[in-house]
Chains A and B, each alone.
Chain A
Amino acid sequence: MSASIVRDTRLAKRRRELMVCAVLAAIALALALLGLVVGAYTVALPDLLATLVGQGSAKDNFIVLQLRLPRVTIAIVVGIAFALSGALFQALFSNPLASPDIIGITTGASSAAVAAILILGLSGLTVSLFAFVGALAVATAIYLLSSSGGASSYRFVLVGIAFAFLLHGVLGYLLTRADVRDAQGALVWLVGSLSGTRWVDIAVAGAGVAVLLPVVALLAPRLRVLQLGDSSASGLGVRVAPVRLGLLTVAVALAAVGTAAVGPIAFVAFVCGPIARRLLRTGGTGLVASALVGVVLVLGSDFAAQHLLGDTQVPVGIITGAVGAPYLLWLLARANRTRGDS
């Protein structure tokens, strides 16, 4: 009797998860098509399909394959990277605020990239390399400084915040030392923009995500056990410390790949996990749903960034920031009330 109830609940949960993911995937597909079709020059749907299979006119080929498809593709790639990274961080530290953009990881990437832009005068892939290395270096420093006899998670978060504020100071310093126009250019990078993406950027970011996704899939089942608490997890036969470190490394690498490709698009890493959990209502980590939410969010925001303000195009980070910042503040204000109830 009770076994069948458990089975039924499990089935219902699974069904809900599948449904949510299917709906999200459909929305993502629709947004991707919209991004390919709509613009200053509208490509008709049959022409779009013809172009995608290599039968398009020269004009359609250029507009779709060189201008729009790279932008849509990178949106999907970084959407997955940011969302998974944020969801992993939040699950590892069991705190919805502990996302890489709040505990210093992306700030590390930003500082390195802005230094590369303003001091060394670099651009393109070399800036991405600086950002990637910056994120990893800062994450390693945080890890080493926070681990004395087993990395406890709260120390990682707090040391990370110390780094975030320190690096904010460095960023501010770098911005004051440059010509104001260069500073504005660096600011665009700091906001995060998908315009001007080339296929080589996508290849690099895509390769990174392709390597990291299987690792996430491999470690994800253990993450659910970790969430029961460290002692329960080790009682269930999970080696807590290495699994934790492995997941942390993957999460940092995902954030680094995403930031290196397009800059730190504000709050994508932060909001996807909570949104996915709210949609699922199953209490799990919902990594797949989070990734899909990330894709929908970045695609939708980039579409809005291109078309919402008429002819003026804004970086995609403007949209996610304008939506994400108030959401974050609301979440913070609400956190108190829910705690008061319990």
Chain B
Amino acid sequence: MTTAATRGRLFLGLALCLAVLLIVLFLSLALGARQVALGTTLEALFAPDAGNADHRVIRELRIPRTLLGLVAGAALGLAGSIMQGLTRNPLADPGLLGVNAGASLFVVLGITWFGIAGTTGQVWLAFAGAAVATVIVYAVGSGRAGATPISLTLAGSAVTAAMTSIITLLLLGNLDTLNQYRFWAVGSLVGRDLEALLALAPFLAVGLVLALSLGRMLNVLALGDDLASGLGQSVLRTRVLSAVAVVILCGCATSLAGPIVFVGLVVPHLARRITGPDYRWILAFSLLLGATLLVAADVIGRLVVLPGELEAGLVVAFVGAPVMIALVRGSRLGAL
């Protein structure tokens, strides 16, 4: 399928993306409202001094948010690629299709009705919510005629509107929940601790492995359901496994960083530009590009309105919405 020459080029591209990601990660540690010299940043990483204020800022504030961006971005990028492959829809994105909104709703329900504030409780709620929203979007998107980009995207927007409306109802009477929720809902990487990340690590590992193993199945599915089952692939199994991967990845990302839209939309398109239609490569690139995009957005958000900050989710929205509009304007928007 891929010749040796193109494969070599793709590995080179992958290495380049990895290098860019590493640079962005380093910048995320070095840049911010508090100016820290690059040398000091390296020192803080490799020879930390507990008494040094610069080192403390980097180790206690910047490392957690950078790791968070890395993980959430990678998860959203992968989830977006899987959704686009699965629905054969260029506008599929876990945010646009309402999956993140579903996770948010269940988290808010947990906070208001059951007083669940811990990370482990929240992540199960986020999984449940993401699963419910995924089922609804599937129900709309997998009719016999198949969903067109417009009907699927409208369904996603409608699911989001419905979920948001219910969330607002819950928040209106509850000042405490509103106060917690509003900072989470805007998609920020600030103020989360590493324990949450550690608690989610097993889920994330499962999600990542599952996602990366889906490439071959998505390639066959891209030929169409009939041809795929003719080639001996169980379409149902592919769909179920993909849905499980999407739910795990989106549930983790949303419970860590809040409902972030557009990462899953932009990243697969970028990846496809580099790789062509092979989903094994698209998934690998999406992992790296998603992480790069979210961490970079967080760094940009730190720098544009000094000494204040813009949340990463907002920066991504300002990057992603024009990309979506360009996609809508540019192409015939046929099915993938």
**Which residues does A use to contact B, with CB under 8 Å?**
95, 97-98, 101-103, 145-146, 148, 154-155, 157-159, 161-166, 168-170, 172-173, 175-176, 180-181, 183-184, 187-188, 190-191, 266-267, 314-315, 318, 321-322, 324-326, 328-329, 332-333, 335-336, 339-340
Contacts and interface: CB of A to CB of B under 8 A. Distances in A.
Interface stretch (B72-80, B162-170, B234-242): B162-170
Given A103-B157, A165-B261, A187 B328 contact: no
Nearest to A326: B162
The B interface, classified by DSSP as helix, strand, loop or mixed, is: helix
A42 B262 CA distance: 53
A179 to B, nearest CB: 10
6 contacts: A155-B329, A161-B153, A165-B320, A168-B160, A181-B175, A340-B143
Nearest to B162: A325
B178 A187 contact: yes
Contact of B168 (A95, A170, A190, A326): A190
B288 to A, nearest CB: 24
B175 A169 contact: no
Contacts of B164: 168
A161 B171 contact: no
Given A184-B172, A321-B166, 9 more contacts: A158-B328, A158-B333, A162-B324, A165-B317, A168-B317, A180-B179, A187-B171, A187-B172, A332-B140
B253 interface: no
Contact of A335 (B140, B153, B162, B320): B140
A168 B182 CA distance: 12
B298 interface: no
Given A267-B165, A336-B143, A173 B329 contact: no
A118 to B, nearest CB: 12
Interface string B291-334: 00000000000000000001101100110110011001100010
Q: For A101, A102, A188, which residue has the most chain B Cβ atoms within 10 angstroms?
A: A102
Nearest to B310: A173
B150 A169 contact: no
Contacts of B169: 191, 318, 321-322
Interface string B143-155: 1110001110111
Nearest to A178: B182
Contact of A329 (B91, B159, B262, B325): B159
B97 to A, nearest CB: 11
Interface residues of B, number: 53
B172 A157 contact: no
Contact of B145 (A163, A173, A339): A339
A181 B179 CA distance: 9
Nearest to A165: B261
Contacts of B142: 336
Contacts of B139: 332-333, 335-336
A269 to B, nearest CB: 11
B168 A191 contact: yes
Contact of A161 (B96, B144, B145, B310): B96
B158 interface: yes
Contacts of A315: 172
Contact of A172 (B96, B140, B186, B325): B186
B158 A148 contact: no
A187 B168 contact: yes
B310 A148 contact: no
B136 interface: yes
Contacts of A340: 143-144
B155 A332 contact: yes
Interface string B96-115: 10000000000000000000
B154 A102 contact: yes
Interface string B252-288: 0000000001100000000000000000000000000
A91 B162 CA distance: 21
Interface string B174-217: 01001100110111000000000000000000000000000000
B325 A173 contact: no
